Structure 1
Amino acid sequence: MFTRDYHKNPFIVIWELTRACELKCLHCRAEAQYKRHPLELSYEEGINLIDQIHLMDNPLLVFTGGDPLMRNDVYALAEYAVKKGVRVSMTPSATPNVTKEAIQKAKVVGLSRWAFSLDGPTAKIHDHFRGTNGSFDLTIQSIQYLHELEIPVQINTVISKYNYEVLDEMAELVKKLQCVLWSVFFLVPIGRGQAKDMISPAEHEKVLRWLYQLSKRVDFDIKTTAAQHYRRVVIQQKMREHKNRHDHIDYEDALIKGATGTIDGLGRAPKGVNDGNGFVFVSHIGDVYPSGLLPIKAGNVRSSSLANIYQNSTIFKELRDPDLYKGKCGVCEFRHVCGGSRSRAYAATGDYLESEPYCVYIPKAMRKKKPI
């Protein structure tokens, strides 16, 4: 059984190696630039950071950006981490930097998985979203390289009004490309991301229910980001299935099982990972945030250890206590396995403890009782 204590150690660490990137994505959290920042963590500082991460019960480590391939020491950093036993994956941008030789080098180093973004089943949709013509074709070509070199492929997709109507076709493409994981991001209005590009709360619910049904008939895993209420949807759907089969299942027991990963289908993160709760983000200049989508700085690894910031900063401690959540999230029976997107709550209200504004669920505690 999964026993990691999120009060002490995260499940996953995202390190933004650089903000340099050749793409101009409409939703870019980092508002990426064409050139690297002069104050980026150096190679030596990166090595020290990897050592610190390893000591935090060796969580998953993801190299992101910008485009991590814009750093010429990315493979040296990856090799060091892998040799320490750290599980490393990378999310490069689909640019001419992604050659077959570059991927071969990553395989030699020991990178466990590559992730590429695909935001539509056609070049027209994807290239518009990524702000660069030819991005779709480069992505498909890069994925073929990965298959040839037998490296597992993950696809990341941001759900927005631009692709909401073509998700069935998108799922077919993910299946066709033989990916091991489809990581589905739900837009948070930060950086270049705009609220006008988001789908509605009702559409969020519709997509989450569709994802659950999809998960039962495909051979790739499905993970959501900034849609913690997917856990609530999965638990509800499974409970309905048990009821329809006349199984005896206790409601509260189902929630407890959901928290330990035996019913909610979220095997990669068996507990309720959320911003600052099992999740930590380190920026290109060493600033530490609960996530890349929640822009409240908790410290910097140049002046404090990552463990100290994660364990002791006020924002992280508050985010790890769902009983502090406000509004309907604060009384929701699913708050310990869901909790809503803290990033979206902050983006919409300015308060990271407020309710998830794009969840339609009404908690039991807030429902009106029928008159006798």
Structure 2
Amino acid sequence: MESKESHEEIETDKMIRTFENIINNGLSQKLLNSALNYCDKCQKSHLESALDYYLGKQDEICTTCKITYKLIQKIIKKSLETFDTSEEALIETMQNPVWERGLLSTFKGMSRFKVRKPFTPGAPYQIVWNITRACNFNCIHCYENAGQKDEDELTTQEIHETIDLLADIGVVSLAFSGGEPSIHPDILEFIKHASDRGLFVSMASNGYVFNTYEKAKQFKDAGLEFVQLSLDGLNPETHDSFRNVKGSWNRVIEAIKNFQKAGVYTGISTTVTKRNKDEIPDMIKFLNDLNVDWFMLYNFIPTGKGSKIKDIDLNPQERRELLELIYKANVDTDMNIMSTAPQFADVAVNNDTDNQMVPTHFYNVNYVNPAMKQLSEFIGGCGAGRFYMSIEPNGDIYPCVFFPHNKDVLLGNVKDKNIEDIWINHPLLKEFRSKDILKDHCGSCESKYICGGCRARAYNYFQDILSPDPGCIRNQDAWNKLETK
């Protein structure tokens, strides 16, 4: 006899297939494509006008935009039915301009790439921008080989022009990184400019310069909404040994408190290795007691300075145990605990607890409706070149910050002002977005759509973006080959 859960999954699958058919049919695609065109009467694209009208932000639109509105209304209605969400809740959420930008990019993705597994938005949801190579630390695992400022870094004017371009093409979130972004002399004006253009602005920092509330408040006032502070151990000895700056642990704890007081959403990032993995359980409790909002456990990637310390990488079993630990810890803490390891989604889907959660690169989605579980096949997995891209200090564009600066993974440069064309048409990104062409077990794995492995780890270990991620327990053979080298 068919179980209730099995029946629900079958019905959900039918609804999702219906949803795909509505959007991917020829007429809908023609209407969605034409919706991207600019409307002279409404002074924005047909799609933007239709969404604003639907959300109650615009009282009247032209007849042509109303045709788009009818399609948008139908798609949204079917989405709400599939995922058991109320229209009132959606409209309330979308009053936030950042969320509306995300919805707009989602519709653009339906037009440009259709609804497929995994899903690709019409523009990057996020750009991670290494704004400078200059850094006041000397971390042993730095992916960027940071230290001194490069001579060919973009000028202040070029950076402002690029911020405008990112806003114009529909990027939702801009994350400043480095190097150490806080020591760039013009970082506050970059943050303000991006915020004024409607981007959600975040920053990754070692926290060293934020030992006063006034400094943190400066960044909050400029428009910084989220800060990710690096903390690589429960105690000063562990953390400072990674960072090579004595006293850095104490400074980052001060930074946490100062950003919280300033009203900035505060997260912690930890690169997990053999040297600090045993401290993670106590770090979870420690950070939860500090009222940290968000704890991201980063995969170790053997790139940059990290290429010299591959021996501290977790083996597949250690990584799996870590991911299972943090999955269960999400139930017991108020923090959102995440991981950049795509295998986290596989752990979530195959868990045997009452906690139902879909991990993504940006948030852990808790759910009751089984449709949300199936949604993970569209939004889960490695986001490199699919949800985000990265920009280097000189303007070079890569699929992800964790790729070495090799020509075969270089996508272009912001000075050419063709970021949107790169996102839509670059042949390398088409490979990043297809899980069906992955090699070895990653390509045949039943979890390939929700996981697919980390492409940066595959490339840095095997010089091939389609190779298996050796961090997965199902790729033990790949890991064994590395150990015998």
TM-score, scaled to structure 1: 0.87
Once the two structures are TM-superposed, the CA of residue 7 in structure 1 deviates from its matched residue by: 5.6
How many pairs align? 345
1:81 equivalent in structure 2: 194
For residue 133 of structure 2, what is the aligned residue in structure 1?
19
Contact 2:376 2:450 (8 Å CA) reproduced? yes
Which secondary structure does the structure 2 equivalent of 1:216 belong to?
A: helix
TM-fit CA distance, 1:326: 0.8
Q: Hey, what's the Cα distance between the residues in 2 that align with 1:240 and 1:155?
A: 26
Tell me which residue corresponds to 1:259: 377
**1:142 is matched with which residue?**
255
Q: Greater RCO between the two (CA within 8 Å, min separation 6)?
A: 1
CA contact (8 A) 1:344 1:357 kept: yes
Is the alpha carbon distance of 1:97 and 1:41 closer, same or farther for their aligned partners in structure 2, counting shifts above 3 Å?
A: farther
- 1:191 corresponds in structure 2 to 304
1:286 aligns with 2:391: no
Greater fraction helix: 2
Distance in 1 separating the partners of 2:418 and 2:401: 19
1:207-243 per-position Cα deviation (integer Å, ceiling 9, x unaligned): 0111100111111112212x1110111111168878x
The answer to whether the 8 A contact 2:442-2:452 is kept is: yes
Cα-Cα RMSD: 2.3
- Identity percentage of aligned residues: 27
Structure 1 residue ranges without an equivalent (≥5): 243-248, 261-269, 363-372
Tell me by how many angstroms 1:20 deviates.
0.4
Rounded Cα–Cα distance in structure 1 between residues aligned with 2:375 and 2:413: 36
Q: Which one-letter code corresponds to 2:199 in the other structure?
A: V
Please give the per-residue CA displacement for 1:310-348, whole angstroms capped at 9, x wherever unaligned: 222222111011111111111112212211000001111
Contact 2:210 2:216 in 1 (8 A): no
CA distance in 2: counterparts of 1:69 and 1:180, whole angstroms: 21
Give, in whole Å, the separation in 2 of the partners of 1:209 and 1:171: 14
SS of equivalent residue, structure 1 residue 15: strand
Asked if 2 retains the 8 angstrom alpha-carbon contact of 1:21 and 1:93, the reply is: no
Q: What corresponds to 1:177 in structure 2? A: 290
Say yes or no: does 1:206 pair with 2:324: no
> Does the Cα contact within 8 Å between 2:165 and 2:417 map onto a contact in 1?
no
Contact kept? 1:20, 1:65, Cα under 8 Å? yes
Alpha carbons 1:64, 1:90 under 8 Å: kept: yes
SS of the counterpart of 2:320?
helix
CA distances 1:167-189 after superposition (whole Å, capped 9, x unpaired): 11111121122111101101010
The 1-side partners of 2:154 and 2:221 are apart by 24
The structure with the largest alpha-carbon Rg is 2
Name the counterpart of 1:159: 272
| Matched position secondary structure for 2:348 | helix
Q: Paired residue for 2:83? A: none
CA shift, 1:57, in A, is 2.6
Letter in 2 for 1:42: T
Q: How far apart are residue 353 of structure 1 and its match?
A: 0.5
| Cα deviation, residue 129, structure 1 | 1.0
Are the structure 2 counterparts of residues 213 and 97 from structure 1 closer, same or farther at C-alpha, using a change threshold of 3 Å? closer
Decide whether aligned partners of structure 1 residues 117 and 90 sit closer, same or farther in structure 2, where only a CA change above 3 A counts. same
CA contact (8 A) 1:318 1:324 kept: yes
Matches within 5 A, 1:218-297: 218-225=333-340, 227-237=341-351, 256-259=374-377, 270-295=379-404, 296-297=409-410
Superposed CA offset, 1:5-61 (max 9, x none): 32632221100100100101110001111x322211112111121122223333211
Q: Deviations over 1:238-286 (max 9, x none)?
A: 68878xxxxxx999x78623235xxxxxxxxx44352111120000110
Deviation beyond 4 Å, 4+ runs, structure 1: 238-242
Instruction: Deviation per CA, 1:140-165: give whole Å up to 9, x if none.
Output: 11111112222221100110011111
